[in-house]
Amino acid sequence: MTRTAKGRVKLPQWGGGFLNITKKIAAKHTELGANSPLKMLEDYDFDEIAPLADAALVQHDAAEDFAGKAETAYRERDKNKPLINDGTRAAVNLLKAKYAKNPKMLIEWGVEVDDTKMAAPKTPGT
C-alpha cells in the first residue's frame, strides 16, 4: 500500500513574496473564470482581492526602492563619522574645561546641560 504525502504549504510572511503568491492565485482564478474553486469562498471575493494585491505590490516595490535609497543615504552620512564624532567630542571637552565654573555656557554652543542633582548610588542591601 502506498502512502500519499501530505505536502506542507509554505507561505512567506507578509511582504513581496506573499503578495506575489496572491497575484499568481488571482491570475489562476481569473483564468478559470466561473470554474474557479475560489468562487466557493463565502467571505472573500478574489475579484476584489486581486486589484488590492496588485496595488499593495506596487507600494511594496516603492518601499523597497526607498529602503535602498535610505541605506545609501545612511552610508553617505556615515562616511566621515569618526572625524565628526571625535572632533565634536573634543570640542565639547575643551568647552567644558574652558567653562568649568559655569558649564551652562555650553548651552550657547548648542550643547544640552543637565544640572539636576545626581542621586547617590544605591549600595547593595539597602
For the chain, what is the mean pLDDT? 89
Query: What are the b/e assignments for 74-111, b being 16+ CB within 10 Å?
Result: eeeeeeeeeeeeeeeeeeeeebeeebeeeeeebeeeeb
Residue 81 grid cell: 563619522
Residue that the C-alpha cell 511582504 belongs to: 15
Phi and psi torsions of 27, nearest 5°: -65, -45
3-state secondary structure (DSSP) of residue 1: coil
Count of all residues that appear for the chain in the document: 126
Question: Could you report the per-residue pLDDT of 65-81, keeping only the tens digit for each?
Answer: 999 999 999 999 999 99
Among 17-21, 103-107, 108-112, 121-125, which stretch is predicted with the lowest mean pLDDT? 121-125
Q: pTM of the full predicted structure?
A: 0.60
